[in-house]
Amino acid sequence: MRFTDGDSLFAPQLKRIQDITADAVMVWGNAREGALIIKQMRQMGMQQPVFACDRLASGEVLKIAGRDAEGLHTTYPYNPTRPDPELVAFNQMYYARFGQQPDMFAAHAYDGMNILIEAIKKAGLNRARIRDVLTDLKTFQGYEGITGRIIFDTTWNDVGDIWMTTLKQGKFEYFSATPHE
């Protein structure tokens, strides 16, 4: 069911889902709207499992939906709880500066900036050479950033491991969604 950013009431959409007796609900949107959807589902007596995009793996969901979000399953582009020393240091520095934990955008921006710095070190201060280094897929294939091993496809999308979360007792637990043999 379609909704718009900024919407607050989801009863018409939820009623339609309730009427078809869906086995589960998938929410694709921002944290605020997703949390309101979950809260309103539970108020309507809907107990289906909720699956969502990475934007719902957020403290905002916990603030708005509280215990109603328990059991929420989401995707996430990396594991922010990894005991990697560089990630731990980044999380601490970010929190000290901004008073909150970094989100996936901050972590990926940090990795992206470090990739750019490495390209500048290799190419010097020449825009064309920097671009050439950045667009040479072999240069940063398997780059180890704070978000983990970054693997680029031919369109420069990061196709490295993805993660899943489940909200248990008010905390997001992360686990790999990539089968490892």
Rounded distance, CA 36 to CA 23, Å? 20
pLDDT reading at 139 higher than 80: no
Pairing of strands 73-76, 143-145: unpaired
Kind and range of the H or E run holding 165: strand 163-168
* 69-101 per-position pLDDT tens digit: 999 999 999 999 999 999 999 999 999 999 998
pLDDT reading at 181 higher than 70: no
Rounded distance, CA 56 to CA 153, Å? 26
Q: Which residue has the higher pLDDT, 93 or 153?
A: 93
Domains defined for the chain, CATH in brackets: 11-77+162-176 (3.40.50.2300), 85-150 (no CATH)
